[in-house]
Structure 1
Amino acid sequence: MFILVNLKAYPCDPIEVATAARDVAEASGVRIAVSPQAADISRVADTGVETWAQHVDPNGHGSHTGSTLAEAVAEAGAVGTLINHSEKRLKLADIDGSVQAAERAGLETCVCANNPAQIGAVSALGPDSVAVEPPELIGGDVSVATADPGIVTDAVDAAANVDEDVEVYCGAGISTGDDVVTAEELGASGILLASGVAKADDPRAALEDLVSGL
């Protein structure tokens, strides 16, 4: 299982979370990555933890003020990027452009989507992975794997029907080791979470709990 921790714009200490994630990954053998704000990518990458960007724009170099350039986040130390998170929605053409931009910069890609139908659509764009995240469960206390396991299994099937090489991650409400085990049992190969770690009083303990059943 792959655990991807999105720090969003939460007022957490990205270095504390990154260091904890690095140490728990090394101790458990579980792949764990941290996705900080763009301004913190370099500092987080310097801890040695696997580092992802929260977003990249579809454009390349040029007159694009305010854009997040795929090449720039790669140079800062990111090795992957989220695309089309529920809080950073893109049009389908821009998702395609962002996937291509990320691939051009050598970044691994995870495209987020609300439901299995959208999972199928974005899987056709050739990302490395997709994450199913019902918006109503994001940031909540109930995981999608528990609230509606059919969404996860249907998302896995939808992606496989388009491209068997696209991995499916489970997001929204994931916060415990039991959630991770349930997601794995439903066919997900990773999880995407935020508040369960970023807002935890003890991020290291939260991460240790997440990997406890793996």
Structure 2
Amino acid sequence: MFVLINLKAYPCDPIDIASIAAEVAANTGVRIAVAPQAADLAAVAETGVETWAQHVSSIEHGSHTGSTLAEAASRAGAEGTLLNHSEHRLRLADIDGSLRAAERAGLETIVCANNPKQIAAASRLDPDSVAVEPPELIGTGTPVSKADPDIVTDSVDAASGTPVLCGAGISTGEDLVAASDLGAEGVLLASGVAKADDPRTALESLVDPIA
């Protein structure tokens, strides 16, 4: 199982969480990555944790002020990127452009989607993985695997062989196991670790059932 911690723009210490994630990954053998703000990519990568960008833009080098160049994210230490998160929606053409930009820069990709129908469309664009995240469950602490397990199983079917991750409301080891049982190959989470009073304990408890 792949565990990707999205730090969003939360007021957490990205270096502290990245260092914890690197240690937990090394101690357990679980694949754990951290997606910080773009300005923190290099510092997070220096901790040794697998580092992901929260987004890259569908651009090449040129006059694109305010965009996130895939090559710049890669140079900063990113190994992959999220795309089309529910908090950063893209048009289908822009998802495709960002996928091609990520491919050009050697970044692994996860395209997020709200439901199985969108998962099917995203999978046809040939990302490395897709992630199903019903937006109404994000940050609630109620995982989709409990709220509506059919969304996960239907997304796995709709993905036609593309690996599926499960997001929204993931916070416990039980949630991770449930996602795996439904066919997901990883999870996305944010507040369960990034806003935890004790991020180390939260992350260790999360991965303990699969370590």
TM-score (norm: length of structure 2): 0.99
Gaps of 5+ in 1: none
Counterparts in 2 of 1:73-92, with a 5 A limit? 73-92=73-92
CA distance in 1, matches of 2:200, 2:154: 32
Match of 1:181 in 2: 177
Match of 1:26 in 2: 26
Q: Which amino acid aligns with 2:21?
A: A
Match of 2:198 in 1: 202
The CA deviation at 1:205 is 0.6
Aligned-residue CA RMSD in angstroms? 0.4
What count of residue pairs does the alignment treat as equivalent?
210
Q: Give aligned-pair identity as a percent.
A: 71
Match of 2:100 in 1: 100
Runs of 4+ residues over 2 Å off in structure 1: none
Residue 193 (1) aligns with residue 189 (2): yes
Q: Which amino acid aligns with 1:30?
A: V
The CA deviation at 1:141 is 1.5
CA distance in 1, matches of 2:63, 2:146: 45
Counterparts in 2 of 1:45-64, with a 5 A limit? 45-64=45-64
CA-to-aligned-CA distance 1:168-196 (integer Å, 9 cap, x gap)? 00000000000000000000000000000
Match of 1:170 in 2: 166
Match of 1:152 in 2: 152
Match of 2:118 in 1: 118
CA distance in 1, matches of 2:17, 2:75: 21
Q: Which amino acid aligns with 1:167?
A: P
3-state SS of paired residue (1:41): helix
CA distance in 2, matches of 1:96, 1:109: 11
Q: Which amino acid aligns with 1:14?
A: P
CA distance in 1, matches of 2:155, 2:200: 30
CA distance in 1, matches of 2:60, 2:95: 14
The CA deviation at 1:212 is 1.1
TM-score (norm: length of structure 1): 0.98
3-state SS of paired residue (2:209): coil
3-state SS of paired residue (2:88): coil
CA distance in 2, matches of 1:118, 1:2: 21
The CA deviation at 1:159 is 0.2
CA distance in 1, matches of 2:143, 2:135: 11
The CA deviation at 1:103 is 0.4
Gaps of 5+ in 2: none
CA distance in 1, matches of 2:127, 2:198: 33
The CA deviation at 1:94 is 0.1
